[in-house]
Structure 1
Amino acid sequence: MTTSTTAAAATTAGATSTRVDLALLGIRGTPPLHRDGGAGPSDDGHLVVSGRDAALPRNPDSPFVFDGDRVLRDGEDTGLVISAIGRPRFYDRRTADGVPYEKIARLHGRDVLATTVVQTCIRYRRDERCRFCSIEESLRAGTTVPVKQPEQLAEVARAAVDLDGVRQMVMTTGTSAGRDRGAAHLARCVRAVKAAVPELPIQVQCEPPADLAVLTELREAGADAIGIHVESLDDDARRRWMPGKSTVPLTEYRAAWDEAVRVFGRNQVSTYLLVGLGEDPDEMIAGARELADSGVYPFIVPYRPQAGTLAVDVDGAPAPDHRRVEYISREVGAHLQRLGMAGSDQRAGCAACGACSVLQSVGG
């Protein structure tokens, strides 16, 4: 290896490590595009960091500060170029019955429209709630509505594409009591959006439905990709962190993933794997490789402490060590690269965006 190649590799490794630290420690300040509470990683600011979208925690104690086009750490330039994403124009509109568009769907990164079609979850009771989730807190804060209607989503999606250049959409849902676990309403919403904006790729996200035929219904409605998120492959970690959701056995997840790959295709199915839930790193890597081999993209994301969750308010659970996040991400990214399986090749969804992870920076 030449001196210049070695230097370039060291620079790349250093930039990746800094991105990992950013993902865990966040930034000081509130970028123009940000989100408070809700499902999934939130309380974040959406920025472009060295050309890639990044959803970063907003942390007043972070050593990182952005000053418009640089990231400073303790006053020193990190070498990462940063730019803010402006407030989208579609946020200034309202539906015919007066609901602000931003309560129906939100912009994530530069070009992803995201929505939680049902903002309640049967597992949100204190003894069953996923300890990292705050899906119903945004309802309490008045920043969203309980159920998004298909026609509302179609109207907002059309405006987001026309006004702000949105290029993909993500629809997730709280879990319902029905056998479809919320997928039937997702299918109605997808069908309406596709009728209004046929060119817009859509990823749907739900728990494994008890009736796997619903996966075909979602595909036929127009969904292009699907996320069936398990968060951990370790049953002990699942019981600790997701007492309600862990009652769905891993065998049901594997059956749903296999059927989803059959219906949607290889690398159009993904699942979140959260670093920081206590799982052994090498076991997590082995499980992620197995998923990738079966056609499921393992989206490696660090657990984020977030106010309003039981993990923070009750447990005081810290973010994972940055070395663990980088090690797991690099090992899984290398395997994905060997398989020729890139998140950016997904038609839509979290892995296609990549803002909550560093996988795309390390080959995934």
Structure 2
Amino acid sequence: MSDADLINDLQSHGMRLVDPRAGHEARRGGAGPSDHKAVTIGDTTVMVPVHTAPAFESPFLVEPPDAKGQSRVTRDGAEIARVRFPMRPKFYDLKTADGVPYSHIATLHSRDVLATTVLQTCIRYESRKKTCQFCAIGQSLAAGRTIAHKTPDQLAEVAKAAVELDGIKHMVLTTGTPKGKDRGAAVMVESARAIKAAVDLPLQGQCEPPDDDIWHQRMKDAGIDALGMHLEAVTQEVRERIMPGKATVPLEKYMSSFEAAVKVFGRAQVSTYILAGLGDSREAILEMGQKLCDMGVYPFVVPFVPISGTPLESHPAPKPEFMASILRPLGEMIVRAAFAPRTSRRAAANAVPVRRSRPMKS
């Protein structure tokens, strides 16, 4: 089995861990790739589900690491690959002056990527009628594993320590959507400004499209190097059904905001995530992928993963065959768009690659 095929299968089926404590902690709840574990396959690090219903029934079993830090992946008792898990970072052992564990401020997403959700609250999450049905942003806060608002000083302190102690090379700043027309851009500005004053670290910001496009330049001037504005679904019917609050921001607004952002950040420095398996057809996803590539926006298409405790926890993950039917032609689009993933700050900061016939390093 090729690395690309294995990644595709693992991201759809998940994996069962013989020893869940092996490697660094899996992420439960919260924003981003929750209920996942970072795993390196060949030279590519991806996030793979481990604490989801499909993962508990996965045909892929991962053994504890050996003396070299490698773990065997088996299927039906036969070894099919060897993988590596990032070690627990040293900065996790530290606390801020006011006693907040560094791990509550930012977490390791892969071997050299630090990530944080600046605001762990969201106006979409506060109402059952508006919430994104797949979102678990409030779970880690309710469990006491994070704090509601990471201050600029806290983020700068933790980022500096992570670089010095663990060799972090990129940082991702995401946020729940606050009240106000900036839709999170303002908190990106104040956070980035503080981090860049403390340490020279490439930053990717992630928020909904701000109402006024002037925020793109403000984020860039504050130190955001690349920007993510995530569609999740590409047709209005699916958007209204799966994320009714976010769907009130029209697709047309996303497209105009993408266009404005590319002018500020550059081609391939603006990206979006699309979750395959929520109801959008292969054709609709690929049509949107082509539009995005033509605009200079890098499309990440990843399989939807049902997260425990969310309204979609029982929703099936897409089949590997469905993902392959999207990712192969999408990879060809990306190649034709002449995006350079190894030099793109956006691509380097993300832990889940969009793949061609072979996986691209993320």
Same fold (TM > 0.5): yes
Deviations 1:339-363 (A, max 9, x none): 2214333214xx3245334526646
Match of 1:319 in 2: 317
For 1:336, the aligned partner's letter is I
The alpha-carbon distance between structure 1 residues 102 and 38, as it changes in their structure 2 partners (threshold 3 A), is: same
Deviations 1:188-239 (A, max 9, x none): 0000000001x21000000011111111110000110000111122111101
Match of 2:256 in 1: 255
Which of 130, 139, 142 is 1:140 aligned to?
142
Match of 1:40 in 2: 32
User: CA contact under 8 A between 1:334 and 1:362: conserved in structure 2?
Assistant: no
Match of 2:342 in 1: 344
For 1:194, the aligned partner's letter is K
Aligned partner of residue 47 in structure 1, secondary structure = strand
Q: TM-score, normalised by structure 1?
A: 0.92
Q: Give me the CA root mean square deviation.
A: 1.4
User: CA contact under 8 A between 2:96 and 2:102: conserved in structure 1?
Assistant: yes
Q: Distance in 2 between matches of 1:360 and 1:28?
A: 26
Number of equivalenced pairs: 345
User: CA contact under 8 A between 2:170 and 2:202: conserved in structure 1?
Assistant: yes
Runs of 4+ in 1 over 6 A off after TM superposition: none
Alignment of 1:16-31 (within 5 A): 16-29=4-17, 30=20, 31=22
Deviations 1:265-290 (A, max 9, x none): 11100000111011110221121011
Which of 348, 352, 359 is 1:356 aligned to?
352
Shift of 1:258: 0.5
Aligned partner of residue 11 in structure 2, secondary structure = helix
Shift of 1:168: 0.2
For 2:268, the aligned partner's letter is N
Match of 1:235 in 2: 236
The alpha-carbon distance between structure 1 residues 60 and 238, as it changes in their structure 2 partners (threshold 3 A), is: same
Structure having the higher helix fraction is: 1
Moved more, 168-177 or 38-47: 38-47
Match of 1:186 in 2: 188
Shift of 1:73: 1.4
In structure 2, runs of 5+ residues without a counterpart are none
User: Taking every aligned residue pair, what percent have the same amino acid on both sides?
Assistant: 47
Q: Distance in 1 between matches of 2:13 and 2:342?
A: 25
Q: TM-score, normalised by structure 2?
A: 0.92
Shift of 1:251: 1.0
Match of 1:4 in 2: none
For 1:345, the aligned partner's letter is T
In structure 1, runs of 5+ residues without a counterpart are 1-10
Deviations 1:48-100 (A, max 9, x none): 1122112111133222122223211121111x220121100000000000000
Which of 170, 173, 176 is 1:174 aligned to?
176
Shift of 1:18: 2.1
Alignment of 1:278-289 (within 5 A): 278-289=279-290
Q: Distance in 2 between matches of 1:82 and 1:362?
A: 17
